């Protein structure tokens, strides 16, 4: 099976996405997708590889290999885009694939927060950092539910859209990219403590905002 680059872009066009993902990461993912199509690799295999690289990133952060952790975060994110693009390009959507895609995101994020928390425990001697990391992870996941899962159930508004790309993808703002790229940029600077505090605090503020907005609209 082979398709043209124009057809690939048409099949894989996303209705909305975050700015760096839409402009950079997804473009890289499309190149990888185009190369994978003739190999007949199932999208679920890419999802499992994304989970593996995400766990490897968490392990790298936990052991103090921040640069490796940052690179592996990006690889995992690219693969996370690639499994969906490959499914769109080859028409291999499935309920299992959708479930795996959602689960993979949560598992990778858990690995990142857990790895960062463990590193801070080892470097500071304060076991509270692992607790703080898990609390931050919990706030982030709850926020994601309100702005991502809940809209599908009609219980909350979707993430705010601020523009669109030349490919027709609407650009939205939210917590996903700041959390993800916080590990990428702050990890190598040995500032994962700031990442954990900033992610949890921002998610908590977002939760409060969502709750207030929903109460006013109800």
Check: CB of residue 155 under 8 Å from CB of residue 98. no
Alpha helices in 63-166 (DSSP H): 66-90, 95-124, 128-144, 150-152
- 77 inside domain: yes
The verdict on residue 188 lying in a domain is yes
How far apart are alpha carbons 82 and 207 in whole angstroms?
Answer: 30
* pLDDT the model gives residue 56: 98
Q: What is the pLDDT of residue 179?
A: 92
DSSP symbol at 102? H
Q: What pairs with residue 161 in β-bridges?
A: 172
pLDDT for 153 beyond 60: no
For 118-133, the pLDDT digits (tens) are 999 999 999 999 999 9
So what's the pLDDT on residue 149?
Answer: 57
What is the rounded CA–CA span in Å between residue 39 and residue 188? 35
The reported pLDDT for the residue numbered 202 is 93
User: What integer pLDDT is reported at residue 167 of this predicted model?
Assistant: 63
Q: For the residues 200-217, what does the mean pLDDT come to?
A: 84
Query: Looking at the domain assignment, is residue 164 inside a domain?
Result: yes
Domain that holds residue 204: 9-217
Dihedral angle sign, alpha carbons of residues 138, 139, 145, 150: positive
Q: Say what the pLDDT of residue 104 is.
A: 92
The answer to whether residue 2 sits within a structural domain is no
Structurally, how many domains does the chain consist of? 1
- What angle is formed at CA 75 by the lines to CA 14 and CA 133, rounded to 5 degrees? 95
Question: What is the per-residue pLDDT across 7-39, written as a single tens digit (0 to 9) for each?
Answer: 888 888 888 788 888 889 999 999 999 999 999
Average pLDDT of the segment spanning 167-185: 85
Is there a domain that residue 177 lies in?
Answer: yes
Burial status of residue 197 (CB atoms within 10 A of its CB: 0-12, 13-18, 19 or more): middle
pLDDT at 84: 92
Q: What is the pLDDT of residue 152?
A: 46
Q: Is residue 24 part of a domain?
A: yes
In eight-state DSSP terms, residue 154 is: T
Q: What is the CATH number of the domain that holds 133?
A: 1.20.120.1760
Of 140, 110, 129, residue with least CA distance to 205: 140
Q: Please give the residue that has the higher pLDDT: either 210 or 4.
A: 4
What pTM value is reported for the model? Answer: 0.89
- Three-state SS at 126: coil
Residue 156: the pLDDT is 44
Give the model's confidence band at 114: pLDDT under 50 very low, under 70 low, under 90 confident, else very high: very high
Top-confidence residue, 61 or 155: 61
Sheet of 170-172, strand order = 16-18, 170-172, 161-164
Looking at every residue in the chain, the average pLDDT score rounds to: 88
Decide if 51 is inside a domain. Answer: yes
Q: Is pLDDT of 159 > 70?
A: no
Q: What is the structure's pLDDT at 151?
A: 47
């Amino acid at each position: 099976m082979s398709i043209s680059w124009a057809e690939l872009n048409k099949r894989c066009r996303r209705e909305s996405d975050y700015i760096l993902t839409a402009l950079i990461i997804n473009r890289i993912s499309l190149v990888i997708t185009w190369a994978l199509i003739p190999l007949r690799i199932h999208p679920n295999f890419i999802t499992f590889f994304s989970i593996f690289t995400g766990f490897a990133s968490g392990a790298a952060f936990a052991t103090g290999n921040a640069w490796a952790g940052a690179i592996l975060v990006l690889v995992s994110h690219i693969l996370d885009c690639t499994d969906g693009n490959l499914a769109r390009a080859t028409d291999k959507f499935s309920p299992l694939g959708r479930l795996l895609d959602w689960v993979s995101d949560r598992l990778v994020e858990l690995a990142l927060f857990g790895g960062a928390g463990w590193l801070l425990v080892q470097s500071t001697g304060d076991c509270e950092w692992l607790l703080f990391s898990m609390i931050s992870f919990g706030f982030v996941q709850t926020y994601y539910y309100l702005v991502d899962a809940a809209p599908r159930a009609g219980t909350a508004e979707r993430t705010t859209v601020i523009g669109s790309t030349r490919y027709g993808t609407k650009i939205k703002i939210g917590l996903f990219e700041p959390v993800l790229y916080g590990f990428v940029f702050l990890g190598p600077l040995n500032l994962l403590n700031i990442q954990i505090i900033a992610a949890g605090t921002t998610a908590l503020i977002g939760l409060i905002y969502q709750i207030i907005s929903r109460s006013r609209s109800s």
